[in-house]
Amino acid sequence: MRGLVWFREDLRTHDNTALYHAAKQCDEGIAALYIIDENMWIAHDTAACKIEFILRGLKLLQSDLDKLNITLYVLSVKSTASIPQEIHKLISIIQADALFFNRQYEINESRRDQSVEKHLSQYDISTYAYHDQIILPPGSVKTLQNTNYSVFTPYKRAWHTVFSQSDIKILPPPRIQDKLNLTNESKVPDTLLKFKSDIDPTLWPAGQLHAKKVLQKFISDKLFHYDKDRDFPSIEGTSKLSPYLCTGMISARYCFLKALESNHNELDTGNKGATTWMGELIWRDFYKHILFNEPRVSMHQAYKTETDNINWNHDETLFSAWKSGQTGYPMIDAAMRQLNTTGWMHNRLRMVVAMFFTKNLFLDWRLGEKYFMSRLIDGDLAANNGGWQWSASTGTDSAPYFRIFNPIRQSERFDPDGEFIIQYCPELKMLTKKNIHDPSRHGEIKMNYPKPIIELNKNRDKVLTAFKTCNIRKL
């Protein structure tokens, strides 16, 4: 058998389930494919910096595949609907018998994959699809009543049980293949006109090799302090692996097993930093399971359907002040400027800015979710949607609607010396550690920094009433 491996969000040769099985099964060799579907990226608000990162990763993947004698074809398609025919055409040219890929769980991607499977089956071409993107496959972690978990803590407990009973391993890259006699004129483009990134690429070196180095360094230097450091944005206390995980330059399975190994194979005991970090990778699984089980969250709908009745605000002035980091609340502004200039934002800050957006500005969480996707190098539908719905109190196991973060208290607590704020709002560097969190209250408003765009309690009653009554209005 000869196989074609379709790479998508798994830009690596190491520990890649589809590639591993294709190489094992295909005695007549394998070729590889990547499809550039710009319209899908546009429809999903994919950030230009993420696309640029993918293209750099793709070039490195191509050279890794070359070393294994595997040819990578790069096809650009005009529409998602044409993909089944395009793949079929390539399969005919290279005389393959089967297509291999790792599953994606977003609704458009899974519909696309179904139509590819259906189309190829008409021509007796087999497709082999694998669960690879998450550590435990969707559907494998269920309650005793065989329902899906909607609360994280019991999910995590059950996850630990399923994991302990499974035999999850890191898969090696395939051995060097016999060279196939294939012609390939396709190339990985350097850039795409519609995706011009304004983020410095040296901030995010691409590729599986670099991703592994980041993981190794994180495990040796930071993992054991993760529980203490992870909430302070001025400390580099988190792994910054999210761009690599969401493009598949490294697998979540590999990260989890390496962290577990350094914790002497203890899942829930041992070092607190290690167990907390492994817990974050389980959150990642959790949100992907939600996306798989509740496809409506892929379609701009709330997990708690009754909250779709809430009449959120769509005020353009507030929205643009938030986007550009000009709200007059230093922690919010520094966070938004971090996003706009680096393509990434610290997790504590993602929660703070999203909570401010939904509960103080009372803006529709979907607008914030969309803006994040359009700027994040690690934009991932499941985690982004999960994070936004958590902050908006519309999601599964989300923040209770009445518990609203105060961005000034959050700033005093998690950036006590204002170090992070000064990094991104240098115009505030003359302020004292005490005043930097709330310049306007201390009469420090003459500098080149905006006054608060809103009084923090302005929408409090509106928010509380909206949540209390959204159930009733549905009836």
Asked whether position 41 contacts ligand FAD by CB under 6 A, the answer is: no
Return contacts of 137-146, CB within 8 angstroms, 24+ apart. Answer: 138/105, 138/288, 138/289, 138/292, 138/293, 139/292, 141/285, 141/289
Q: Please pick, among 41, 277, 322, 388, the residue that the annotation labels catalytic.
A: 388
Q: Is the Cβ of residue 103 or residue 288 nearer to ligand FAD in the bound state?
A: 288
Q: Is the Cβ of residue 321 or residue 383 nearer to ligand FAD in the bound state?
A: 383
Asked whether position 232 contacts ligand FAD by CB under 6 A, the answer is: no
- Determine the residue with CB nearest ligand FAD: 387
Which one among 391, 393, 394, 410 touches ligand FAD, defined by CB under 6 A? 391
Burial of 262: CB neighbours in 10 Å, binned 0-12, 13-18, 19+: middle
312 is catalytic: yes
Cβ at position 225, least distance to ligand FAD in Å = 12
Asked whether position 248 contacts ligand FAD by CB under 6 A, the answer is: no
- CB 235 within 8 Å of CB 229: yes
E strands, 30-162, in order: 30-36, 72-76, 98-102, 126-130
Smallest Cα–Cα separation from 215: which of 167, 163, 251? 251
Which one among 347, 374, 435, 440 touches ligand FAD, defined by CB under 6 A? 347
Q: How many residues bind ligand FAD (CB under 6 A)?
A: 28
Which one among 247, 342, 358, 384 touches ligand FAD, defined by CB under 6 A? 384
| Exposure of 408 in the CB half-sphere (CA atoms within 13 A) | 18
Q: Name the β-bridge partners of 127.
A: 99
Stated as kind and residue range, the H or E segment containing 162 is helix 152-165
CA 200 – CA 348 distance, rounded (Å): 23
347 is catalytic: yes
384 is catalytic: no
Q: Please pick, among 108, 148, 347, 406, the residue that the annotation labels catalytic.
A: 347
Q: Please pick, among 6, 204, 277, 312, the residue that the annotation labels catalytic.
A: 312
- Binding mask 277-316 vs ligand FAD (x if CB under 6 A, - otherwise)? ---xx-xx--x-----------------------------
Cβ at position 246, least distance to ligand FAD in Å = 5
Which one among 22, 32, 120, 351 touches ligand FAD, defined by CB under 6 A? 351
Cβ at position 185, least distance to ligand FAD in Å = 35
Q: Is the Cβ of residue 32 or residue 223 nearer to ligand FAD in the bound state?
A: 223
Asked whether position 231 contacts ligand FAD by CB under 6 A, the answer is: no
Q: Is the Cβ of residue 378 or residue 397 nearer to ligand FAD in the bound state?
A: 378
Take residue 71 and report the two structure tokens written for it.
């040819």
6 is catalytic: no
Take residue 325 and report the two structure tokens written for it.
């980091």
CA 376 – CA 245 distance, rounded (Å): 13
DSSP string, 5-45: EEESS---STT-HHHHHHHHH-TT-EEEEEEE-HHHHHHTT
Residues within the interface to ligand FAD (CB under 6 A): 230, 238-242, 245-246, 280-281, 283-284, 287, 347, 350-351, 354, 372, 376, 378-380, 383-384, 386-388, 391
Active site members: 280, 283, 312, 347, 365, 388
